[in-house]
Chains A and B, each alone.
Chain A
Amino acid sequence: MAQNNIGPKRLVVGAHYGLRDWLAQRLTAVLMAIYTFVLLFSFLTGSNFTYEGWAGVFAQQWFKLFSLVTFLGLFYHAWVGMRDIWMDYVKSVGLRLTLQMATIVWLLVCAAWTVQILWSV
């Protein structure tokens, strides 16, 4: 391989986006796990299981920001996972690229929607 690393046959690897995405998927996983426990804890330790109790959790500014960061992490996590699924099962390059772009656009829409939802209460 060493004498063949120039020209059209060279080994095109080393962008490191694989490692970066792998690491990001793990970090966002930990973040989402923590968020799950914090959300369960703040809701279940309250005695108010009505609308006020539920919306009250999300009315606090720190929880809005925590939620937003977690949801953004979720969308990144979902992107890595969906990209893996498309890469594994969709063999046509054109279709795969279309699906990947649609996934990105859709997740961005979801991110904007999440901001709107979180700041509506």
Chain B
Amino acid sequence: MSEAVREVPRKERPQFRNIHVTQLSNYRLPLAGLVSILHRISGFLMFALLPVVLYLFELSIRSEMSFAHFAGIASHPLAKLVLLALAWGYLQHFCAGVRHLFMDLHLGLDKDSARNSAATVLAVSLFLTALVGLKLFGVF
């Protein structure tokens, strides 16, 4: 009897306090948290690629010849991948930024609306990124 009722040692729930980088993969973020960290990552990505953007922008408007050079670079598949990453960064940052601005006006602050708006941000930005990707790779 005592054997049967003895409690099975329960699996300990992990606790996270000031998590270390190595623990990140065990930690499942809520949607709003995912949008938050993606805001940071996409912002950093765009900062890092700023020289690329300015260089391409310069080529694209300086003259017809430099524009042709720009078009040549942009037609390379690898360059298209970089541009797609940039487009994702911009769209993600843009959508999440609009969400931020609404929240600064104290709109949609409760848990459910925040979760819904986070899901919307992810869906809209991924959808628009997919559109840009299809256009970039010449599907339409």
Co-complex (A, B): yes
Question: Which A residues fall within an 8 A CB radius of B?
Answer: 26, 29-30, 33, 36, 51, 54-55, 58, 78, 81-82, 85, 110, 113-114, 117, 120-121
Partner of A78, one of B40, B47, B51, B64: B47
Identity of the chain B residue whose Cβ is nearest the Cβ of A51 in the assembled complex: B67
**Secondary structure type dominating chain A contacts:** helix
Q: Are A81 and B61 in contact (CB under 8 A)?
A: no
Of A30, A54, A117, A121, which is in contact with the most chain B CB atoms at under 10 Å from its CB?
Answer: A117
Q: With A26-B101, A113-B54, A117-B54 known to touch, is A33 a contact of B61 (CB < 8 Å)? A: no
In the assembly, what is the distance between CA of A33 and CA of B91, in Å?
Answer: 11
Q: Are A117 and B101 in contact (CB under 8 A)?
A: no
Q: Are B61 and A120 in contact (CB under 8 A)?
A: yes
Partner of A85, one of B44, B50, B97: B44
Shortest C-beta distance, A106 to chain B (Å), equals 8
In the assembly, what is the distance between CA of A26 and CA of B60, in Å?
Answer: 29
Instruction: Give the chain A neighbours of B57 by CB distance below 8 A.
Output: 117
In the assembly, what is the distance between CA of A82 and CA of B48, in Å?
Answer: 10
